[in-house]
Structure 1
Amino acid sequence: MSPIRKRKIEAETVRTVAMMILTGKVKDPRVHMVSVHRSELSEDARFLNVYVTSIVTDKKKEKLLAGLNSAAGKFAATLSTKLNLRVTPKIHFVWDEEYIQGLDESLRLTRKPTNPD
């Protein structure tokens, strides 16, 4: 698969998943207030990791990921028809730790140092 096609599929995945959640196409009550950041398609186009975050506790984080992964078939079907894919990738939702670490680092860098006086 060409790198351009791969990037197009990854970008369209982020848009489609976010819109399906926002418009209420996913009826699972565990899925709410989700931020979709990026996706990564495997080289053989069989697997697609979608990276998400939300403002939830660790316990609810697991429930959120379980809800998203249970609706993965619906997301895959929508993507397949939207992009005319011959092989529909298996979608797996992953918590985006890199995004959280990046936010923490940017907050740390932007804080003003306090004077000990």
Structure 2
Amino acid sequence: MADSARAAKLAQRIKVVVAEGLRRRVKDPRVEGITVTDARVTNDLQHATVYYTVLGDETAQADAKVGLDRARGVLRQEVGRNITVRLTPTLEFVADEIPVNAGHLEELLRVAKARDAEVAAIAEGAAFAGDPDPYRKPEDDGEPED
């Protein structure tokens, strides 16, 4: 059983090797717009999950998934040549959801900013419902201050 630090180093190396392999070895036009964002390796160094993003619509993403599945053997061979472990890990490709989540967060922030602007516009012409300072002071009780 390997330690997690070694697995993390191996994951970074696999990320670089897969990205270079996609650029140099794989000639499939479906994988040209792929960016490898992250890789994770299990602690036993047997399985690697490679996360990727694709620019384009859902059709481009589906085509990229098919292209990666077809190039899995070539990329695993490339990984085996460029890393120093006894067994080459299996590769699994997963579409990275970070750009989708980031877009969703940006939309939520945009809505919150618009609501804040509405509240500020309403508060601009508003007046207090009671006294501007509703807290009781000692001189209001008729008692002298110390």
Helix, strand or coil for the counterpart of 1:43?
Answer: coil
Task: Give the CA deviation at 1:9.
Answer: 1.0
Using structure 1 for the length normalisation, give the TM-score.
0.82
Paired with 2:4 and 2:61, the residues of 1 have a C-alpha distance of 32
Greater CA radius of gyration, 1 or 2? 2
One-letter code aligned to 1:46:
Q
Query: What is the match of residue 75 of structure 1?
Result: 75
Structure with greater helix percent: 2
Query: What is the match of residue 32 of structure 1?
Result: 32
Task: Give the CA deviation at 1:21.
Answer: 2.5
Aligned-CA RMSD value: 2.1
One-letter code aligned to 1:48:
A
Using structure 2 for the length normalisation, give the TM-score.
0.67
Q: Which runs of 5+ in 2 are unaligned?
A: 122-146
Paired with 1:54 and 1:19, the residues of 2 have a C-alpha distance of 16
Does residue 18 of structure 1 match 2:2? no
Paired with 1:43 and 1:5, the residues of 2 have a C-alpha distance of 8
Task: Give the CA deviation at 1:4.
Answer: 1.6
Q: How many residues align?
A: 115
Task: Give the CA deviation at 1:15.
Answer: 1.2
Using CA pairs under 8 Å that are at least 6 residues apart, name the structure with larger relative contact order, 1 or 2.
1
